[in-house]
Chain A
Amino acid sequence: MKYTNPELLEHLASSYVLGTLAGGARRRFERLQRDRADVRVRVAQWEARLGHLAASVPALQPSAQVWKAIASRTQPAASTVAADASARGLLGWLKPAGFGFGGLAAGVLAASLLFVTAPGVFLSSDQVAMRTGEKLPQSYVGLLTDAQGKGKLLVSSLRHGKTMTVKVLSPITAPASGTLMLWALPASGPAFALGPVPVAGSAVSMLPDTSEKLLSSVSKLVVTLETDPAPAAPSATLVFSGNCAKLW
């Protein structure tokens, strides 16, 4: 069809603007509009004509949430300014205390503490990571401490990955018998084992599925002393525990 008949073009343009042109005819007309200036003019004229009809529609007030959502989607700069300021404040407090974990650990620790203590601020993980001198990919992170609050284990896994790294932060006394097992405690449902825990250095293991699938509703991680090599549930002997945080 050549689309030169002005009556046909008027009919199509008016139907398109009204909303009654549908399906294939609508798609064909959209292509026509892209290619032809005269068609665009007709559409603009019909938008103006029909737009006048909207004047009688009664005004209504939407909920305040609407503007908040629009603002957060159109003005991201505001939230990263807040994240920067808080990151500086918290890191300033950490350094003199001398945690001494080394650059990467301190960065992850600071980031996960920020998430746990002020989640509203943790809006741009990239900004925080860059502040600590490390650019970290989206990950699940957990810092496990002993009963005295001393950092013992750092557990980390890329958000969409299956590899989990468990790093020993301060000396762990190897148990006389049994093994140390790492468990994930989801918000609801039974705990599930992530794997055994090394007593020194770092151990990398494969998770049965991606972190995202396994850990997205997990808030706590614990290490227990198990005598059974393949326990179904955590024993009563809790050795270390900590939060599971999302580093993004």
Chain B
Amino acid sequence: MKPDPEADTRSLEHLIAAAARGDHACFAEVYERTHLHLFGVAVRILGQGQAAEDVLQEAYVSIWKNAGGYRSEVDGQTLQAMTWLIAIVRNKALDALRARTRRRESELPESGDIDEDDIQSTGHPAPSAMQLLEQASQALHIEGCMNALDGSHRQSLALAYYQGLSHTEVAAHMGAPLGSVKAWIRRGLEKLKGCLAAQGVVA
């Protein structure tokens, strides 16, 4: 089969390997293909605003600098490029979220003091974290399996993953005891693992 010269069929893995060798055009292509999705991930956690854009910037600079460290196999375990990219962005977003929370906790609120981040992050836009989990489950064909879990298990997992909430924050959001939330999330993760394995989705 003749390769179509117009279509860019280079995989993300190959583009990252080329970026690791200093090929900036390939790095730009990685950005082109992935930044919309990764920005979405950052915004889910940080809300719209400068913080999410800063995280995206830091993430891609890190991707450029550490492209040489990406291996499609880690100690015998396959690691897809997109998984690696998502992990970088998500971890930076979580770090930024934690830093913001710490800052707020240590500052005395002043009347009339408007925090830009506050305005952007309150009230998450539809779809909700729960809906995102349902959509992802459907796409993975594990919806039926995951629905065996109580709604509270799925919701707590969804809040932790999509919004980056801590155990304490999930408990506050759901008005549930901290101990219960910890158990629900742990159970939710175990169930996710089992459902994916049953579907033959490569872990």
Give me the interface of A with B, judged by CB distance under 8 Å: 10-11, 14-15, 17-20, 22, 37-38, 40-41, 44-45, 47-63, 65-67, 69-71, 73-75
Query: What are 24 A-B contacts with C-beta separation under 8 Å?
Result: A15-B185, A19-B91, A19-B160, A19-B164, A20-B167, A41-B75, A44-B74, A44-B77, A45-B77, A47-B84, A52-B140, A53-B133, A56-B132, A56-B136, A57-B40, A59-B36, A59-B37, A60-B39, A62-B52, A66-B39, A67-B31, A69-B57, A73-B57, A74-B61
Task: Tell whether B18 is near chain A: CB-to-CB under 8 Å.
Answer: no
- State the total of A-B contacts with C-beta under 8 angstroms: 135
Closest Cβ of chain B: how far from A12's Cβ, in Å?
11
> Which of the 9-residue segments B7-15, B106-114, B186-194 touches chain A?
B186-194
Complex Cα distance, B53 from A63, in Å, reads: 8
The reply to whether B135 and A48 form a contact with Cβ atoms under 8 Å apart is no
Q: Mark B122-148, 1 if CB is under 8 A from A, else 0.
A: 000001000011011001100000000
Main secondary structure on B side of the interface with A? helix
Q: Which residue of A lies closest to B59 (CB)?
A: A70
Query: For chain B residues 39-89, which have a beta carbon within 8 Å of chain A?
Result: 39-41, 43-44, 48, 52-53, 56-57, 60-61, 64-65, 74-80, 82-84, 86-87
Which of A48, A57, A70 contacts B203, CB < 8 Å?
A48
Which of B53, B74, B196 contacts A41, CB < 8 Å?
B74
Asked, given contacts A18-B160, A52-B136, A57-B132, whether A62 binds B203 with beta carbons under 8 Å apart, the answer is no
Which of B37, B39, B94, B136 contacts A19, CB < 8 Å?
B94
Complex Cα distance, B24 from A74, in Å, reads: 8
Main secondary structure on A side of the interface with B? helix
The reply to whether A65 and B61 form a contact with Cβ atoms under 8 Å apart is no
Give me the interface of B with A, judged by CB distance under 8 Å: 24, 27-28, 31, 35-37, 39-41, 43-44, 48, 52-53, 56-57, 60-61, 64-65, 74-80, 82-84, 86-87, 90-91, 94, 98, 127, 132-133, 135-136, 139-140, 160-162, 164, 166-167, 185-186, 189-190, 192-193, 196, 201-203
The reply to whether B44 and A57 form a contact with Cβ atoms under 8 Å apart is yes
Asked, given contacts A47-B79, A67-B31, A70-B31, whether A18 binds B161 with beta carbons under 8 Å apart, the answer is yes
Asked, given contacts A48-B203, A54-B41, A60-B40, whether A20 binds B196 with beta carbons under 8 Å apart, the answer is no
Which A residues are CB-close (under 8 A) to B185? Answer: 15, 18, 20
Which A residues are CB-close (under 8 A) to B31? Answer: 67, 70
Which B residues are CB-close (under 8 A) to A70? Answer: 31, 57, 60-61, 64
The reply to whether A51 and B83 form a contact with Cβ atoms under 8 Å apart is yes
Asked, given contacts A54-B41, A67-B31, whether A41 binds B162 with beta carbons under 8 Å apart, the answer is no
Q: Which residue of B lies closest to A77 (CB)?
A: B24
Closest Cβ of chain B: how far from A65's Cβ, in Å?
7
Which B residues are CB-close (under 8 A) to A53? Answer: 132-133, 136, 161-162
Complex Cα distance, B199 from A52, in Å, reads: 13
Closest Cβ of chain A: how far from B75's Cβ, in Å?
5
Complex Cα distance, B187 from A14, in Å, reads: 11
Q: Which residue of B lies closest to A39 (CB)?
A: B75
Which B residues are CB-close (under 8 A) to A71? Answer: 28
Which B residues are CB-close (under 8 A) to A10? Answer: 190, 193
Given A49-B196, A54-B136, A57-B37, output 16 extra A-B contacts at Cβ < 8 Å.
A11-B186, A14-B193, A18-B189, A22-B166, A37-B75, A44-B75, A47-B79, A55-B139, A56-B132, A56-B139, A61-B36, A62-B56, A63-B53, A66-B57, A70-B60, A75-B24
The reply to whether A56 and B79 form a contact with Cβ atoms under 8 Å apart is no
Which A residues are CB-close (under 8 A) to B75? Answer: 37-38, 40-41, 44
Which A residues are CB-close (under 8 A) to B64? Answer: 70, 74
Q: Which residue of A lies closest to B28 (CB)?
A: A71
Which of B36, B80, B135, B201 contacts A60, CB < 8 Å?
B36
The reply to whether A49 and B37 form a contact with Cβ atoms under 8 Å apart is no
Which A residues are CB-close (under 8 A) to B39? Answer: 59-62, 66
Which A residues are CB-close (under 8 A) to B192? Answer: 49-50
Closest Cβ of chain B: how far from A95's Cβ, in Å?
35
Closest Cβ of chain B: how far from A91's Cβ, in Å?
29
Complex Cα distance, B86 from A51, in Å, reads: 7
